[in-house]
Structure 1
Amino acid sequence: MSLLKRLLNPIYKKTEAKTKSSELPEHSTYYPEQKLPVDEKFTFNFKSNGGKFLYCENWEEIKEAFDNILLENDWYEQDVFCFNEMLSEKFDGFNLNFVKNTNSTFFLTTCESLVAKNGSILLSSNQIKEKKLSEFPFSIVVFATTSQIVETISEGLRIIKNQSLKHIPSNITTIQDFDTEKEKEKDFMSYGSSTKNLYLLLLEDL
């Protein structure tokens, strides 16, 4: 995943200089289209959807990136909608009020998978209970790991099924429209969802 770090350009920290275009191999229409690795494909599609991407190598960088999100949006001393106790414990100390009320400044959550094919976030009742995405705050901060990147929605659904032998989560959906200035076509998994201002905190775990 070191390649992923070089590809990304997190908005909150310096990165290595981009490769000059002259150093890249020329692309010919006579050659078949190269198949991107799943992590690169997710990165490209997620950012094309309007998502804000922050790649981090450890929890210290995650906390630094999270602090910068709060600073950028002036979210200190605000109510944060959060079901996940692990996240509320990890981000304790940022002068936030963790509540279970959708009438909050932003929603802090994990996810089931990151889908490379369309750059979407796969969620289930494990994260959103039985609520509709339209009920959640406009701004969402998602914490995920690189091992959660999958090629397709079907692969993400298969993982959910394998991890939930006794009780398969309900209310499975995706969110992939993070651009408020463009209307995007929605597939059956994201039908009825609404545009969200979404930040992804991605932790390297591979």
Structure 2
Amino acid sequence: MSIFRKIFGSSSEASNEANDNEYNPFQEVNTSLPVDELFTFNFKKNGGKFLYCENIAELNEQFENILEENDWFESEAICLEPKLFAMLETNNISYEQAKFPKFLLASCESLVAEDGAIMFSSSQIKHHKINELPDNIVVIAGTSQMVLGKSDGLREIKKRYISDYPTNITTIKYFEKIKEEDFLHYGSSPKNLYLLLLEDL
């Protein structure tokens, strides 16, 4: 049984169930945890919103729930990947030459467990810097994309593309604004990020 089914149950339950348990800053992080548990712990600690989907039908349903929750139906979005255009078209969301995009819809390269971060490249965000992207991001990823560290993510990119490697490889780690700025967060661009994680193993 998938660790995500054990932790979250089916995604047909309330969409906020994944964030019900408050992060305890005094709880020790066990680095010997399986990659999926380590990613889940760190991603939630960073303020990410996590929705586990067992199949494509659940993924589409959860995407519509996000649109409804934020009143994004019939709005504008940025999407630079043709494979995702149908999800926007189905919900009457304009993505061509969007002037006032409410969110970015994208896939990613890897889910980095040790940081709870999302790794992107030019395949998803082209030449854009993180601070140039909308404040709201919806990421679609598979459970097979989890890696322990950034170096593992870079290895996966080399395997995936073989040649013609993507550029602009970057990660997003902070998913909520912090109350007090500290040196660890200096220069970061926190994003309101939803992760739709599809079981593909």
Same fold per superposition (TM over 0.5): yes
TM-score of the aligned structures, taking structure 1 as reference length: 0.82
Query: d(CA) in 2 for partners of 1:6 and 1:196?
Result: 28
- Is contact 1:112–1:160 with CA below 8 Å preserved after alignment? yes
- Is contact 2:121–2:168 with CA below 8 Å preserved after alignment? yes
Cα pair distance change 1:12/1:48, threshold 3 Å? farther
**How far apart are 1:94 and its partner, in Å?**
1.1
1:135 aligns with 2:128: no
**How far apart are 1:99 and its partner, in Å?**
2.5
Partner of 2:192: 197
Q: What is the one-letter code of the residue matched to 2:137?
A: I
- Is contact 2:141–2:195 with CA below 8 Å preserved after alignment? yes
Cα deviation, 1:125-173, whole Å, max 9, x if unaligned, reads: 1111111111110000000000000000000001111222221111110
Q: What is the one-letter code of the residue matched to 2:85?
A: S
Which has more helix, going by share of residues? 2
- Identify the match of residue 79 of structure 1 among 76, 81, 103: 76
Query: d(CA) in 1 for partners of 2:91 and 2:3?
Result: 32
Query: d(CA) in 2 for partners of 1:34 and 1:45?
Result: 11
Cα pair distance change 1:138/1:102, threshold 3 Å? farther
Cα pair distance change 1:11/1:181, threshold 3 Å? farther
Q: State the identity as a percent.
A: 50
**How far apart are 1:13 and its partner, in Å?**
1.4
SS at match of 1:98: coil
Give the structure with higher Rg (CA).
1
Q: What is the one-letter code of the residue matched to 1:111?
A: C
Partner of 1:121: 118
SS at match of 1:13: coil
| Aligned residue pairs, count | 187
SS at match of 1:141: strand
SS at match of 2:196: strand
TM-score of the aligned structures, taking structure 2 as reference length: 0.84
Partner of 2:67: 70
- Identify the match of residue 51 of structure 2 among 29, 37, 54: 54
Cα pair distance change 1:37/1:100, threshold 3 Å? farther
- Is contact 1:102–1:135 with CA below 8 Å preserved after alignment? no
Query: d(CA) in 1 for partners of 2:148 and 2:12?
Result: 27
**How far apart are 1:14 and its partner, in Å?**
5.1
Cα deviation, 1:95-134, whole Å, max 9, x if unaligned, reads: 2112254741100000000000010000011111111111
